[in-house]
Chain A
C-alpha cells in the first residue's frame, strides 16, 4: 500500500486528479501521522474534523473532474494566519481564545484552490525568534537529530536533547520535514521561512515584498513581513506560491501584477545566467562545513552552465542592526492593538483603571522576547531618539537597497549560505546574549530589508548528519529566475536524506 505521506505535493496533486487515491485517504493518513508525532509539538491546534470535511468536499469535486490547483491536498497553516472560526494564537498568551471572524487572503486563496487544512502550526511568539523557543505553546522539536551519543531521544515520555527546527516558522519546517503535511504556509520578516527550512532539510521560499497579501496575517513588522511556502521540493514551492500570490485590494502594498505559472520554468536550467557571490558573506567564525558547502554550490552552478561573478555588498554587516531598529519599531506600533479590550486576554480587577488594565494585560500576555522588542521599538521611536536611531536606520536601509540594485545590473541571482550553522540544541542559546540569537539571520535579513525574493534549498548534511541549506536571492518580482536557480541547485545536490522516526 502506498504511504501517501511520502508523496510530494506535486505527486499528490497529480494522483488526486487521476483518481489514483482520494483526498479522504490521504487526509486520514496525515491525521494519523500527526497524532503519532505529538512529541514534536509542531501543531498548536490540529483540525482533523475540518480536514475530513474538506477532504470529502474535495473528493466530490474531483469525482466530477472538477477542482482547483491544490484540490484535496492537505496543508499545515502557520498559526499567524487568521482562519475563520478556528483558534488563531500567533503563539501568544495574549490572543487566548481568539477565533477570527474572517479569513486571511492567503488561506482564502489556498482554500479556493481546494487545499485541505490539517491544523494550525506552532511558531515563535508573534514570529519573533529564530529557534521556536519563544512560543507560549512550548518549543517545537526538529525531527532531525545528531548522529552519535548526543542524539535526541524520548525518555519517560519527554524529548531529551532535541534540536531547534529554526524560527519563527518552526512548526511549519518541523511538520514538513516530519511529513505531517504535504506543505505549509510560513512567514518571513528576517529569515523566518529560510532559516527553519535550512535547519530541517526543506525548501523555504520568501517571495518579493508585495507578491503575497499580508491581509489577515498577524502583523509583526509590516514593511518586512512576507508570507511564503515551506515544502519538500522546489516544485512544491512553485505550486504553493502560485496559489498564495496575487493582487489583493485589502493590502495596499500587495502589487497588482500577473502571477506567472512558476512551475513552467522548472527544468529550464541556469545556462547563461550570471550568479553573484558576495565576499562579505564570508564571515568570521563561520564553520568550515558551511564554507565548503557554499563552494560546492558555486561549483554546481558553474557546472550547470552559469557564469559565477564575484560581487561586493559592503553594507551587509549593517543589515542586522538596521533590522533590530526597524522591526521592533514597527512591532511596537503593530502590537499596540493588544490591549485587553478588543480580543484575547484581559487581566484586571474591579478597582483597576484603564491604564492598569492595559499594563497588566500586556505584562501577563506577552513573553520576554516580545516585551524586549516592544521596549526597544518604543525607545527608538521616542522623542529625542527618533532621528538618531529610526531615521538613521531607514537611511542605511536605503543604502542596502541601492547596493542590491547595483549588483543586479551585473548578476541575475546571488548565491549564499542560508545560515551560519546547522540546527543547534533547544535551550543551548536560551541564556545567551539576545544578539547571539539574532546573528542566526545574518544571511537572510538583507533580502527582507531590500524586499527581494529568497529561497533556501537543502544542499547537504554536516558532519553530525544535520541538514544545511544554500540560499539564492533574486531580483524583485523575478521568482521565476529564482526558482530556475533553486531547481538547478536541487538537481545538483540530489538531497534525499530523511530524518529517522525516533519520535514515534
Chain B
C-alpha cells in the first residue's frame, strides 16, 4: 500500500478538504489502489524524453497590456462580486485573517 492514513491526513490538509477521521483509512485504501495501478508507468523507459505539458506547439500570444472591452475587461465590480456568498462595498468578506 503506497499511501497510509497519515499521508491522507497531510494531503487532505494541503487540498483544504476537511476529511473526518473515519474516512482517512478507507481513503488510504482507495488512493493506494489507484496509485498501485499507476505504478506500471515505472516499466517505461523515459530516458532522454522531454516532459510534455501541452499538445499545442505554439508561442503564447502577446497583446498590448491594456483593458479590453469585453467580459474580461475592468470596471465591473458588481459583476465580480455578484455571486459571492458574502460581500460589502464590492469586497469579498472573509473571517478576520490578521489579529
A contact residues vs B (CB 8 Å cutoff): 97-103, 209-210, 223, 249-250, 252-253, 255-256, 315, 317-318, 321-322, 324-325, 332, 336, 339-346, 348, 352-360, 362-363, 366, 371-372, 374-376, 378-379, 382, 389, 391-399, 401, 433-435, 449-451, 476
The CA-CA distance from A359 to B12 in the complex, in Å, is 9
Q: In the bound complex, do residue A434 and residue B56 qualify as a contact, i.e. CB atoms below 8 Å apart?
A: no
Enumerate chain B residues within 8 angstroms of A433, measured Cβ to Cβ.
Answer: 33
Q: In the bound complex, do residue B52 and residue A395 qualify as a contact, i.e. CB atoms below 8 Å apart?
A: yes
The CA-CA distance from A9 to B85 in the complex, in Å, is 40
Q: In the bound complex, do residue A379 and residue B11 qualify as a contact, i.e. CB atoms below 8 Å apart?
A: yes
Enumerate chain A residues within 8 angstroms of B38, measured Cβ to Cβ.
Answer: 321, 324-325, 389
Enumerate chain A residues within 8 angstroms of B7, measured Cβ to Cβ.
Answer: 379
Task: Check A396/B44 contact, CB under 8 A, given A101-B71, A451-B55.
Answer: yes
Q: Contact check: which of A103, A255, A317, A449 meets B56 at CB < 8 Å?
A: A255
The listed residue with most A CB atoms (<10 A of its CB), out of B38, B53, B72, is: B38
Q: In the bound complex, do residue A395 and residue B51 qualify as a contact, i.e. CB atoms below 8 Å apart?
A: yes
The CA-CA distance from A363 to B14 in the complex, in Å, is 13
Enumerate chain A residues within 8 angstroms of B19, measured Cβ to Cβ.
Answer: 363, 371
The CA-CA distance from A343 to B84 in the complex, in Å, is 4
Enumerate chain A residues within 8 angstroms of B16, measured Cβ to Cβ.
Answer: 336, 339, 355, 358-359, 362
Q: In the bound complex, do residue A321 and residue B40 qualify as a contact, i.e. CB atoms below 8 Å apart?
A: yes
B95 on interface, CB distance cutoff 8 Å: yes
Q: In the bound complex, do residue A250 and residue B84 qualify as a contact, i.e. CB atoms below 8 Å apart?
A: no
Task: Check A375/B12 contact, CB under 8 A, given A101-B82, A340-B85.
Answer: yes
Q: In the bound complex, do residue A395 and residue B49 qualify as a contact, i.e. CB atoms below 8 Å apart?
A: yes
Q: In the bound complex, do residue A394 and residue B51 qualify as a contact, i.e. CB atoms below 8 Å apart?
A: yes
Which residue of chain A has its CB nearest to the CB of B61?
A252
Residues 6 to 24 of chain B near chain A (Cβ within 8 Å): 7-8, 11-12, 14-19
Q: In the bound complex, do residue A101 and residue B46 qualify as a contact, i.e. CB atoms below 8 Å apart?
A: no
Enumerate chain B residues within 8 angstroms of A372, measured Cβ to Cβ.
Answer: 27, 30-31, 34
Q: Contact check: which of A318, A356, A450 meets B41 at CB < 8 Å?
A: A318
Q: In the bound complex, do residue B31 and residue A357 qualify as a contact, i.e. CB atoms below 8 Å apart?
A: no
Enumerate chain B residues within 8 angstroms of A382, measured Cβ to Cβ.
Answer: 11, 14
Residues 29 to 63 of chain B near chain A (Cβ within 8 Å): 30-31, 33-35, 37-38, 40-42, 44, 46, 49-56, 58, 60-61, 63
Enumerate chain B residues within 8 angstroms of A102, measured Cβ to Cβ.
Answer: 71, 79
Q: In the bound complex, do residue A359 and residue B18 qualify as a contact, i.e. CB atoms below 8 Å apart?
A: yes
B41 to chain A, nearest CB (A): 5
Q: In the bound complex, do residue B52 and residue A394 qualify as a contact, i.e. CB atoms below 8 Å apart?
A: yes
B interface: dominant SS: loop
Which residue of chain B has its CB nearest to the CB of A103?
B71
Q: In the bound complex, do residue B95 and residue A357 qualify as a contact, i.e. CB atoms below 8 Å apart?
A: yes
B85 to chain A, nearest CB (A): 4
The CA-CA distance from A342 to B84 in the complex, in Å, is 5
Which residue of chain B has its CB nearest to the CB of A353?
B95
Please tell me the number of chain B residues within 8 Å of chain A, measured between CB atoms.
Answer: 52
Which residue of chain A has its CB nearest to the CB of B12?
A375
Q: Could you give 8 example pairs across A and B, Cβ below 8 Å?
A: A209-B56, A249-B61, A363-B17, A375-B12, A378-B11, A394-B51, A395-B52, A434-B34
The CA-CA distance from A427 to B25 in the complex, in Å, is 24
Task: Check A101/B18 contact, CB under 8 A, given A343-B84, A392-B46.
Answer: no
B26 to chain A, nearest CB (A): 10
Task: Check A250/B72 contact, CB under 8 A, given A341-B94, A346-B86.
Answer: yes
Enumerate chain A residues within 8 angstroms of B61, measured Cβ to Cβ.
Answer: 249, 252, 256
The listed residue with most A CB atoms (<10 A of its CB), out of B46, B79, B83, is: B83
Q: In the bound complex, do residue B54 and residue A395 qualify as a contact, i.e. CB atoms below 8 Å apart?
A: no
The CA-CA distance from A128 to B11 in the complex, in Å, is 20
The CA-CA distance from A372 to B30 in the complex, in Å, is 8
Task: Check A366/B17 contact, CB under 8 A, given A341-B85, A379-B11.
Answer: yes
Enumerate chain B residues within 8 angstroms of A449, measured Cβ to Cβ.
Answer: 55
13 more A-B contacts (CB under 8 A) besides A101-B80, A434-B30? A101-B83, A102-B79, A321-B40, A341-B85, A344-B83, A346-B86, A366-B17, A371-B19, A375-B12, A376-B35, A391-B51, A395-B46, A395-B52
Enumerate chain A residues within 8 angstroms of B76, measured Cβ to Cβ.
Answer: 101
The CA-CA distance from A354 to B50 in the complex, in Å, is 40
Enumerate chain A residues within 8 angstroms of B71, measured Cβ to Cβ.
Answer: 101-103
Task: Check A363/B18 contact, CB under 8 A, given A255-B58, A341-B94, A394-B53.
Answer: yes
Task: Check A378/B49 contact, CB under 8 A, given A322-B41, A434-B33.
Answer: no
Task: Check A375/B15 contact, CB under 8 A, given A346-B86, A450-B55.
Answer: yes
Enumerate chain B residues within 8 angstroms of A366, measured Cβ to Cβ.
Answer: 17
The CA-CA distance from A374 to B42 in the complex, in Å, is 23
Which residue of chain B has its CB nearest to the CB of A358?
B16
What sequence of 0s and 1s flags, for each residue 71-99 of chain B, a beta carbon within 8 Å of any chain A beta carbon? 11000100110111110000010111100
A300 to chain B, nearest CB (A): 30
Enumerate chain A residues within 8 angstroms of B50, measured Cβ to Cβ.
Answer: 395, 398
Which residue of chain A has its CB nearest to the CB of B85?
A346
Enumerate chain B residues within 8 angstroms of A391, measured Cβ to Cβ.
Answer: 51
Q: Contact check: which of A315, A318, A354, A435 meets B95 at CB < 8 Å?
A: A354
Q: In the bound complex, do residue A98 and residue B18 qualify as a contact, i.e. CB atoms below 8 Å apart?
A: no
Enumerate chain A residues within 8 angstroms of B55, measured Cβ to Cβ.
Answer: 209-210, 223, 401, 449-451, 476
Enumerate chain B residues within 8 angstroms of A395, measured Cβ to Cβ.
Answer: 44, 46, 49-52
Task: Check A98/B86 contact, CB under 8 A, given A354-B94, A378-B14, A394-B52.
Answer: no
B53 to chain A, nearest CB (A): 6
